[in-house]
Structure 1
Amino acid sequence: MKIALVGYGKMGHMIESCAKVMGHEVVATVDVVAQDATNLVKAGDGEAVALAVKTSGAEGVIEFSHPTAVLGNLKALIPLGLPVVCGTTGWAKSEAEIENLCAATNGACMRSSNFSIGVNMFYKIVEEAARIMAEYSDYDVAVWEAHHNQKADSPSGTALEVARRVMLGNKSKTEMVFDAFHEKPKANELHVSSTRIGAVPGTHTVFFDSPADSIELTHRARSRAGFAKGSVIALEKLCEKIDNGTLSRGKLYGMEDLF
């Protein structure tokens, strides 16, 4: 497959390496600062992004840019009609807008806070564990995540999805709290805390704690390679499922649609 990469930072370079190892051709790399990108564009210039991808002959696009750029990029890319995989986080509140854009332009986009296959298995494990533990009122639950100090958003998109899965399993938790507590937390509040330090690729832990014992479920990424490879697999699957009719155009999808 011929792939265009929009966003050519550390993750973009790693995705390029993974795509080539997996037998794909990267025909365009687009960025606003990376001097080694094949297409250097001005920040916010959606037309330039679309033109770079359109003229490259790409058959699919992987977008890994920045929370401040992602919406403009998606608005430029989706109308091209190419399957788009988006790994940039920090735009959850605008998902309905992008979903409507997909429907209006017959575009197809898959977004995920984390394309790692292991993380997506972790989501399912967490949801089931939360459901089991919810039957026992002695056990409280909380979420914690740690990432490198260059990460632009907090909490991570993965942590938000982990918290959402906890709340799906445990209906008594109805509100996420991200700030420090200055009073006793309410029983319905789920604390989601973050740490930014060093070069941590990504660690996510769910704590179940009772007066008698504690249970911890942790996913610890060793490198970004799992995220990079997962995004290429996601594009492969998205294209395959659109071609065979399992998925249709005009929709915004998530990794759950691949499992």
Structure 2
Amino acid sequence: MKIAIVGYGKMGHIIENSAKNFGHEVVATVDIIAKDATNLVPQGDYDAVAKAVKESGAEGVIEFSHPSSVMGNVNALIPLGIPVVIGTTGWNDKHAEVNELASKCNGVAMTSANFSIGVNMLYKIIEEAAKLVSQFDEYDASVSEIHHNQKADSPSGTAIDIAKHLLANYPKKDTIVTDPFHQRPKANELHVASMRVGSVPGTHTVYFDSNADTIEITHRARSREGFANGAVHALERLTEYVNNGKLAKGRLYKMEDLF
């Protein structure tokens, strides 16, 4: 498969290696800064991004740029008509807008807060744990996440997804709070706390706490290769499912639609 990578920072380079290891051809790498990218485009020139991808002959795109650029890139890439996997986070409030764009131009894309297969298994584990723990009034719950100090958004998209999976199965909580508390939290508020330090790839923990004990469910990423491998697998499956009719064009899909 011929793949274009939009966003050629650390993750872009790792995705390139993963794609090649899986037997794919990387036909374009597009960035506004990286001098080793095959296509260096001016900041904000999303037409140039689309042109670089189109002229490369790419059959699919993996976008892994920056929250400030993701919407411009996505608006330029989806109308090309080839599958687009969006790895950049920090744009949850725009999902409906992107889905509408895909519908209008018959494009197809998928996104995930986290492409790690382990994290997607974690979501299922949390759902079952929340159902069990919610039967006992003495337990409270919270979520925390730690990432490297170069991450641009906070809290992580994965932490928010974890919180949503928890809320859907934990009736005592119905509101996510990501800001620091300056007063006693209300019983219905689920606190999602963030820390940025060093080069941590990503650690997410759910806490269930009572006077008697604490239950912790943690996922620790050892490296970014798991995210990159997952993104390449996502593009493979999205392309396969669109080609065989299992999924239709004109939509923004999520990880659970593919795995």
CA deviation string 1:24-47 (max 9, x = no partner):
000000000000000001111110
Who is 1:106 aligned against? 106
Who is 1:234 aligned against? 234
Distance in 2 between the 1:217 and 1:50 partners?
A: 42
State the AA in 1 paired with 2:133. M
State the AA in 1 paired with 2:97. E
Who is 2:3 aligned against? 3
Shift of residue 172, structure 1, vs aligned partner: 2.1
Who is 1:179 aligned against? 179
**Secondary structure of the corresponding residue to residue 135 of structure 1:** coil
State the AA in 1 paired with 2:108. A
Shift of residue 131, structure 1, vs aligned partner: 1.5
Who is 1:17 aligned against? 17
Q: Is 1:257 aligned with 2:227?
A: no
Unaligned runs of 5+ in 1: none
Distance in 1 between the 2:25 and 2:169 partners?
A: 41
State the AA in 1 paired with 2:70. V
- Map 1:1-259 → 2, pairs under 5 A: 1-259=1-259
TM-score (norm: length of structure 2): 0.99
Distance in 1 between the 2:90 and 2:63 partners?
A: 13
CA deviation string 1:218-256 (max 9, x = no partner):
000000000000000000000011111111000000001
**Secondary structure of the corresponding residue to residue 35 of structure 2:** coil
State the AA in 2 paired with 1:144. S
Distance in 1 between the 2:147 and 2:166 partners?
A: 20
> Number of paired residues?
259
Distance in 1 between the 2:108 and 2:258 partners?
A: 14
Distance in 2 between the 1:258 and 1:122 partners?
A: 16
Unaligned runs of 5+ in 2: none
Shift of residue 136, structure 1, vs aligned partner: 1.0
Distance in 2 between the 1:45 and 1:204 partners?
A: 35
> Could you list the runs of 4 or more consecutive aligned residues of structure 1 that deviate by over 2 angstroms after TM superposition?
none
**Secondary structure of the corresponding residue to residue 191 of structure 2:** strand
Distance in 1 between the 2:255 and 2:237 partners?
A: 10
Distance in 2 between the 1:45 and 1:197 partners?
A: 32
Distance in 1 between the 2:128 and 2:101 partners?
A: 33
State the AA in 1 paired with 2:252. L
Distance in 2 between the 1:94 and 1:229 partners?
A: 25
Shift of residue 171, structure 1, vs aligned partner: 2.3
